[in-house]
Structure 1
Amino acid sequence: MNYRWVYCPVCANKTRIQVREDTELKNFPLFCPKCKQESLINLKKYKLMIITEPDA
């Protein structure tokens, strides 16, 4: 199996998460240790999509 790192959508650095091709993440809180940002993401077949929620 191949594993790939998940990169931060804000600063484009590696996070601490590795995924396989068959991994699916929905509404996953991805934390970046470098920029200290947390992003809500969906991931399917290595395709990362950022979830933007409107402010209340």
Structure 2
Amino acid sequence: MIRSEWVHCPVCKNKTRDKIRDDTVLKNYPLYCPKCKQETLIEAKKLKVTVIKEPDAKTQSQ
């Protein structure tokens, strides 16, 4: 039997509307939380969810 569980928001820790299974692989997935209204880039593999840190925008010097 394949296990599945809800994806929790990394910001507020509440359940989102997305569910992943044991065999789900996500890369650069924009996870939206309806509770805190934040969007976070995540990766998921074998029910392990990791947050992708976006590089900060650098100012251009002229």
Q: Check whether TM > 0.5.
A: yes
TM interval, short-chain normalised = over 0.9
What are structure 1's unaligned runs of at least 5 residues?
none
| Structure 2 unmatched ranges of 5 or more | 58-62
Q: Which amino acid aligns with 1:25?
A: L
Given residue 53 of structure 1, which amino acid in structure 2 is its aligned partner? E
Q: Structure 1 segments of 4 or more deviating over 4 A?
A: none
The letter of the residue matching 1:4 is: E
* Cα RMSD, aligned residues only: 0.7
Mark the structure with the bigger radius of gyration.
2
Name the residue aligned to 2:56. Answer: 55
Counterpart-to-counterpart distance in 1, 2:18 and 2:54: 23
CA distance in 1, matches of 2:53, 2:14: 20
Aligned residue pairs: how many? 56
Give identity over the alignment, percent: 62
TM norm structure 2: 0.85
